[in-house]
Amino acid sequence: MINVCVIGFGYWGPNLCRNFVNAPGYNLKSICDNNKINLQKAKKNYPSTSIYLNFNEAINKNKYDLVVLATPTSTHFKIASLVLKKKINILVEKPLCLNVKDHIKLNKIAKKNNVKIFVDFPFIFSGSVQYIKNIIKKNIYGNLKSIESYREQAPIRNDTSVLWDLSIHDISIINFLLSPNHNKIVSVLKYNKTKNYNKVLINIKNKNIDILIKNNWNSPTKIRLIKFIFDNAVIYYDENENLYKIKIYKKYMNKFNQHTLTIPNIDLSEPLFNLAKHIQKSLNKRNKLSDDNFNLSITNFMTKLDNF
């Protein structure tokens, strides 16, 4: 049984708690938050779980196999360093940190203490993205020509920008589907010059694939749509859909703007649940592959985008 402590029960923490409770092989032992109202909600939802206002107290009083960090981005490096030095594995809500230097430091601490770092990039564990990866790998609809991603509306963050909050999801998906070594930045348009800019338009080239990413915190509707344009089909991946997340529009007899619609069967398991299973396999040594290179590739490219 993997004993878990979740630090942070605000916006994302409740989702993480629910999935670690539902996933077999885990014991949600403790929840920490410095907000008493959040802790009251946590105790109501999980009455058998210990709650703490101070995460240091929880870590010093208990033995955990995994700490799950869902706190503001600005706190990630400091808390993660402390947890790793206690020889505890950690899952951190994206982003792990805001620069490559801190990311490499955390990797070194983890290696020194023989523990693992996991980063919460949930969509790469979704049945939808796994399905599209198989489509690309098998070249089912010809060459992938372009990707367009629209991710809009989310709570405004005070400690980071929309790039590190929303664009990072798109970069994690692109790096998972394609070779990150071939990513080339064409342009990055930030719609205000403050550190915590709330809208960004990104153009990337990956070999012959054109990639457009549009992210905006401030939007009247929540949009989570990615379009994959192939030689012979267009795939819509809409994370807002409950059942029909993938729609495939295949060209009909090469006629202009005429398509047939196919809705495939995909795994509709919650991505966080699949992430929990991935972590369990890794901690139980059934999965010897490390996430370190993949996670670092994302921080590295995100930093380049932020500085472009």
Question: 290 in a domain, yes or no?
Answer: no
Q: Does 22 share its domain with 103?
A: yes
Determine phi and psi for 55, rounding to 5 degrees.
-70, -30
Q: What would the mean pLDDT of 223-240 be, rounded to a whole number? A: 97
Give the pLDDT band (50/70/90) at residue 170.
very high
Q: Does 159 share its domain with 64?
A: no
Question: 300 in a domain, yes or no?
Answer: no
Give the pLDDT band (50/70/90) at residue 254.
confident
Q: Does 117 share its domain with 48?
A: yes
Distance of alpha carbon 255 from alpha carbon 252, whole angstroms: 6
Question: 234 in a domain, yes or no?
Answer: yes
How many structural domains are present in the chain?
2
Structural domain for 8, as ranges: 2-121
Q: What is the pLDDT of residues 28-48, one digit of tens each?
A: 999 999 999 999 999 999 999
**Radius of gyration in angstroms for the set of CA atoms belonging to the chain, rounded to a whole number:** 20
Give the pLDDT band (50/70/90) at residue 138.
very high
**Which range (222-226, 232-236, 257-261) has the least confidence?**
257-261
What H or E segment, with its residue span, contains residue 203? strand 199-206
- pLDDT exceeds cutoff 80 at 21: yes
> pTM to 2 decimals?
0.94
Indicate the residue among 68, 93, 121 that finishes a domain.
121
DSSP 72: -
Give the pLDDT band (50/70/90) at residue 158.
confident
Give the pLDDT band (50/70/90) at residue 288.
low
Pick the closest to residue 51 from 6, 2, 3, 86 (CA basis). Answer: 6
User: Residue type at 135?
Assistant: I
When comparing pLDDT for 288 and 68, which is higher? 68
- pLDDT exceeds cutoff 80 at 256: no
pLDDT of residue 286: 65
pLDDT of residue 260: 92
Q: Does 109 share its domain with 132?
A: no
Mean pLDDT across the chain = 95
Give the pLDDT band (50/70/90) at residue 25.
very high
Give the pLDDT band (50/70/90) at residue 115.
very high
Question: 305 in a domain, yes or no?
Answer: no
**CATH code of the domain containing 27:** 3.40.50.720
Q: What would the mean pLDDT of 215-220 be, rounded to a whole number? A: 96
Question: 189 in a domain, yes or no?
Answer: yes
Distance of alpha carbon 84 from alpha carbon 259, whole angstroms: 52
Question: 22 in a domain, yes or no?
Answer: yes
Question: 202 in a domain, yes or no?
Answer: yes
Q: Does 178 share its domain with 47?
A: no
pLDDT of residue 259: 87
Q: What would the mean pLDDT of 114-139 be, rounded to a whole number? A: 96
Q: Does 183 share its domain with 103?
A: no
- pLDDT exceeds cutoff 90 at 257: no
Q: Does 105 share its domain with 70?
A: yes
Q: Does 112 share its domain with 12?
A: yes
Q: Does 233 share its domain with 206?
A: yes
When comparing pLDDT for 16 and 179, which is higher? 16
Q: Does 133 share its domain with 262?
A: yes
**CATH code of the domain containing 191:** 3.30.360.10
Q: Does 117 share its domain with 239?
A: no
Question: 286 in a domain, yes or no?
Answer: no
